[in-house]
Amino acid sequence: MVVAPRLRKATKNVVVTSLWLIGRYRKALREIRQPIILKYHRTSASNGGMMSSSDSFEFERGVSARHLEAQARLIARYRRPIGMDELTDALRSGKSLPEKAVALTFDDGYIDNYEVAFPILRQHMIPATFYVCPGLIDSNRGFWWDEIYSCFRKTEKVAINASELAAHGMIFQNLKEVLPTRTVAERESAAQRVIVMAKRMPAHSIRKFIADLADVLQVSGKPSCSAARLMGWSHIKEMANGGMDIGSHTMTHPMMSQISERELRQEVQDSRKRLQDALGRAINGFVYPSGDYHAMAREVVKEAGHWYACTSESGLVRPTSDPYLLRRVNISDGNMALSCREIVLTYNRHAQDR
């Protein structure tokens, strides 16, 4: 009898907080004059929260169809959705930036972008740019971190030992002696720890590392076979012909700080060329994989002929923004209120910047 009023009160608090945040979001969308670039990754057809599915951890950076739909309605109502080319053309030529502009960007090119995001964006006539890795598309492979997730999802081991990894030459500093892998949450946490550490490995050794990891986890079959699917050329071409733009995200998504200058030039130049050849149009945009860049990477991206490049840093677009180090607002949560909060917080944080 005591619990019910408490529960009602807690529910009411959640609802009031969410509505307040959505109200603030609406206000922010209406009042922020500077252009905003929104950054998305995966999209899920599921209308529930992203964390409800059994393979939730693959969707850590995802937005559900219901929330994307709600965001699209607000964006169409309160902002001026434009393409990245139009936005960055103004920036590069010193023209005044289009007021209340918003540009949507989707990194990585997962198949759910085609299946879920494309129909919603088309319905609301919102252009977006999808940054893809042609080297992975051509080799029909997924991302290496999805292969790691796949290994942890499939393993029947209840724990792995740091010494087992070390026996395969995988020595991670600061790794706890035993990583439990019994529950979904434990597998997720173990996979994420291994991924964070693998990001610091030389890019060319990651595939070998995954094969060894599959051995340690006693996973049969190739991990690459069950990694999350990416869009193929037919999907990308259909989107390009349906009002969407395509940008480059390198050939194979290496960490730029972990490859040689020669490899870096190849990754950047080959990706743009392959996309231009496949789509028969200019590819102007680039996104640094995992937001990892340095001064030389910026130069290589510029020299390869791109008009602009996006980082993973948070912020709005200013007349003084470097077109090759553009900031975005990360819309990563399955929760609408949290996505709203991200825009409001970014605005507050950068309201004074000039």
| Closer CB to Zn ion, 160 or 300, in the complex | 300
Instruction: Using the Cα atoms of residue 255, residue 301, residue 58 and residue 223 in order, give the sign of their dihedral.
Output: negative
> Cα 326 from chain centroid?
15
Positions in the binding site for Zn ion (CB under 5 A): 107-108, 289
> What is the DSSP code string of 191-229?
HHHHHHHHTTS-GGGHHHHHHHHHHHTT--S-GGGGSPP
| Closer CB to Zn ion, 134 or 289, in the complex | 289
Best CA proximity match to 39, nearest among 316, 321, 353: 316
From the CB of 131, what's the least distance to Zn ion, in Å? 7
Tracing tokens 């390198």 back to the chain, one arrives at: 250
* Nearest-angstrom CA–CA distance, 119 and 114: 8
| Closer CB to Zn ion, 223 or 289, in the complex | 289
From the CB of 332, what's the least distance to Zn ion, in Å? 12
| Closer CB to Zn ion, 37 or 165, in the complex | 37
From the CB of 144, what's the least distance to Zn ion, in Å? 11
From the CB of 109, what's the least distance to Zn ion, in Å? 9
Q: What is the 3-state secondary structure (H, E, C) of 285-340?
A: EEECHHHCCCHHHHHHHHHCCCCEEEEEEECCCCCCCCCCCEEEEECCCCCHHHHH
| Closer CB to Zn ion, 42 or 79, in the complex | 42
| Closer CB to Zn ion, 142 or 289, in the complex | 289
Strands (E), 229-297: 245-248, 285-287
Instruction: Kindly state the DSSP code that residue 115 receives in the 8-state scheme.
Output: I
From the CB of 225, what's the least distance to Zn ion, in Å? 21
From the CB of 250, what's the least distance to Zn ion, in Å? 9
